[in-house]
């Protein structure tokens, strides 16, 4: 029995393993074009997604839906003769995993860019790397105001309305319809929740917000926060939460016998997802009725609005390529971002470079059209996405939008204005230029 150690061998093993790793690492595909991730017939994007972990319910459907939409486009000839490929990897909504996954996508898989990287706490950890490597970082799946900085982060672009814009529009609605009521805010303790809180505070006087309680994603007991909001006497509860925390918060409210008017950010209210979670957590005793009547907002047509031609298109693609997932707001989101990316690639033309794609969004991004109800804000300095939302409510387990789209800027005091341009009809096949 030899118990003492043999470090010389440790070394040899380490070296051998390093060489094995090197062999594995050099297998990435080389491209004929001068841009990484582009060949004569394909363009490859990478993404980090919460396929497992606390944010997975609902959000794990987004990237497969985008991939399904790309399959649909590819079957219709692709974009400028190239097929779009999406490699998405699981980061479990865990920032330290995101760093690893994104390095692997960029350095090993040699992707053209990162598309739809999901989450505020996750994606903030790779923005520096992507910008220093000059990798296009397109349409982050998060409304954090932190993507909206074209001068310091020229490669990074948001897509959905930033949380401050959303908070302002929700806040104005509360001011008009619930004036004098005490408001409690339940929010995720990062730039997502804080951005929304800031927007609400911009519209409501400080005294009407009686309690603002943060939660940490991953900590599943939220009863302390909800009972603090309850005991502060809040009559309106505003959630800046991911779906699982909307469900946990509503279950805690239910247990405490607390029934405020619920208001939820559009990222945390998809009724199919939240209803499913409520059903699972309560072992079938509760469901969408716990979020019935909740006020929210939307910048895309409601996924249950089957008369909308965009929803009809997305449902058709969903039935053909993504049938294992339910058709809900997450699937719609994934397809809508995919449409925007395809439109950008179409505008960028046949000779693709990373720089050219970024320039297209800077110069022509504000003209992009698609399923959105409001316009994009893109310019070389503004890298935030949609510039507003429309108010909505959960009625009969579905989101119903009302009152018409509203647009504003995130800066404090910027006015909220109605937006009346009509949504364009989707093209018969593929992507239309704006």
Partner 1 sequence: MSAIAARARVGRARIGELTLARGLLLALVAAAALFVASELLSSFADLELAEGLYFFCVLAGLTVLTGLSGQISLGHGALMAVGAYGAALLIGEQHWALVPALAAATAITAVVGLLLGAAATRLRGPYLAGATLAFAVGLPALADKYSSTFGGENGLVVNPPNPPSGLGSSLPLERWEAWIAGAGAVIVLFTLHNLVRSGYGRAMRAVRDDEIAASLCGLRVARVQTLAFVVSAACAGLAGGLLTVVLQLASPGAFQLSLSLSLLTAIVLGGLGSLVGAAWGAAVLVLLPSWTRDIANSFSLSTKVSSNMPLAIYGLVLVVAMLAWPSGIQGGVRAGGARLRALVRSRRGG
DSSP-assigned states of every residue in 407-425: E--SSTTPPPEE--PPPPP
Indicate whether 350 belongs to the interface with partner 1 (CB under 8 A): no
Is 10 a binding residue for partner 1 by CB under 8 A? The answer is yes
Contacting partner 1 within 38-77 (CB under 8 A): 51-52, 56, 60-61, 64
Shortest distance in whole angstroms from residue 333 CB to partner 1: 15
- Residue 180 is given by DSSP the state T
* Binding status of residue 425 toward partner 1 by CB under 8 A: no
> How far, in Å, CA of 6 to CA of 241, rounded?
52
| Cβ 58 vs Cβ 65: under 8 Å | no
- Rounded Cα gap, residues 18 and 162, in angstroms: 43
Rank residues 54 and 405 by Cβ distance to partner 1 and give the closer one: 54
The whole-angstrom separation of Cα 379 and Cα 392 is: 28
Task: Show the site string, 157-176: x = touches partner 1 by CB under 8 A, - = not.
Answer: --------------------
32 contacts partner 1 (rule: CB under 8 A): no
Q: How many CB atoms lie within 10 A of CB 223?
A: 14
- H helices, E strands: number in the chain: 14, 13
Distances from the Cα of 416 to the Cα of 167, 168, 202, 300, angstroms: 12, 8, 12, 18
In the beta sheet, which residues pair with residue 84?
A: 43
Phi, psi (rounded to 5 degrees) for 209: -85, 105
Of positions 36, 58, 121, 372, contacts partner 1 by CB under 8 A:
121
Q: Please identify, among the stretches 123-131, 158-166, 350-358, 369-377, the one whose residues bind partner 1 according to the rule CB under 8 A.
A: 123-131
Output the smallest distance, CB 10 to partner 1, in A. 4
Are the C-beta atoms of 335 and 317 separated by less than 8 Å?
yes
Closer to partner 1 by Cβ: residue 56 or 247: 56
Is 272 a residue that touches partner 1 (CB under 8 A)? Answer: no
Instruction: Choose between 124 and 253: whose C-beta lies nearer to partner 1.
Output: 124
Compose the 176-215 pattern: x for residues touching partner 1 by CB under 8 A, - for all others: -------------xxx----------------------x-
Q: How many other CB atoms are found less than 10 A from the CB of residue 430?
A: 16
83 or 125: whose CB is closer to partner 1? 125
Burial class (CB in 10 A: 0-12, 13-18, 19+), 81: exposed
- Binding string, 298-327, against partner 1, x = CB under 8 A? --------------------------xx--
Q: Which of 263, 271, 250, 241 is nearest to 177 (CA)?
A: 263
Residues near partner 1 (CB under 8 A), total: 55
Choose the binding region for partner 1 from 6-14, 226-234, 402-410, 420-428 (rule: CB under 8 A).
Answer: 6-14
Contact track, partner 1, 99-118, x by CB under 8 A: xx--xx--xx----------
What is residue 106's DSSP assignment?
I
Give the C-alpha separation, 313 to 322, whole Å: 13
Which positions lie near partner 1, rule CB under 8 A?
A: 2-11, 13-15, 17-19, 21-22, 24-26, 51-52, 56, 60-61, 64, 89-90, 92, 94-97, 99-100, 103-104, 107-108, 121, 124-125, 128-129, 189-191, 214, 216-219, 324-325
């Amino acid at each position: 029995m030899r118990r003492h150690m043999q470090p010389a061998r440790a070394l040899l093993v380490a070296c051998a393993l390093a060489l094995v790793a090197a062999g594995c690492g050099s297998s990435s595909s080389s491209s004929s074009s001068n841009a990484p991730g582009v060949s004569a017939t394909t363009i490859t994007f990478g993404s980090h997604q919460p396929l497992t972990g606390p944010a997975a319910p609902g959000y794990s459907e987004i990237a497969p839906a985008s991939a399904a939409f790309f399959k649909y486009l590819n079957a219709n000839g692709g974009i400028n003769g190239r097929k779009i490929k999406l490699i998405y990897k699981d980061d479990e909504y865990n920032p330290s995993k995101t760093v690893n996954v994104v390095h692997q996508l960029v350095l090993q898989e040699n992707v053209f860019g990162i598309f739809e990287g999901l989450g505020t706490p996750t994606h903030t950890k790779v923005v520096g790397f992507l910008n220093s490597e000059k990798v296009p970082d397109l349409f982050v799946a998060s409304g954090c105001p932190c993507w909206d900085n074209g001068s310091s982060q020229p490669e990074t672009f948001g897509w959905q309305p930033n949380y401050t814009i959303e908070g302002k529009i929700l806040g104005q609605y509360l001011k008009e319809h619930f004036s004098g009521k005490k408001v409690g805010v339940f929010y995720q303790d990062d730039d997502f929740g804080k951005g929304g809180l800031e927007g609400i505070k911009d519209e409501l006087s400080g005294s009407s917000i009686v309690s603002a309680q943060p939660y940490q994603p991953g900590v599943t007991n939220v009863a302390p926060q909800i009972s603090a909001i309850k005991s502060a006497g809040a009559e309106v509860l505003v959630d800046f939460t991911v779906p699982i925390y909307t469900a946990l918060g509503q279950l805690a409210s239910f247990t405490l016998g607390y029934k405020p008017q619920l208001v939820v950010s559009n990222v945390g209210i998809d009724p199919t997802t939240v209803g499913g979670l409520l059903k699972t957590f309560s072992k079938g005793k509760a469901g969408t009725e716990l979020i019935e009547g909740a006020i929210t907002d939307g910048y895309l047509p409601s996924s249950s609005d089957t008369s909308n031609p965009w929803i009809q298109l997305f449902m058709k693609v969903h039935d053909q390529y993504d049938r294992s997932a339910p058709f809900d707001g997450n699937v719609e989101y994934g397809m809508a971002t995919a449409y925007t990316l395809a439109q950008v690639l179409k505008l960028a033309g046949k000779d693709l470079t990373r720089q050219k794609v970024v320039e297209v969004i800077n110069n022509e991004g504000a003209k992009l059209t698609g399923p959105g109800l409001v316009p994009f804000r893109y310019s070389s300095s503004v890298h935030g996405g949609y510039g507003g939302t429309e108010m909505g409510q959960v009625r009969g387990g579905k989101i119903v939008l009302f009152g018409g789209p509203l647009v504003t800027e995130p800066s404090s005091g910027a006015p909220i204005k109605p937006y009346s341009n009509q949504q364009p009809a989707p093209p018969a096949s593929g992507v239309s230029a704006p």
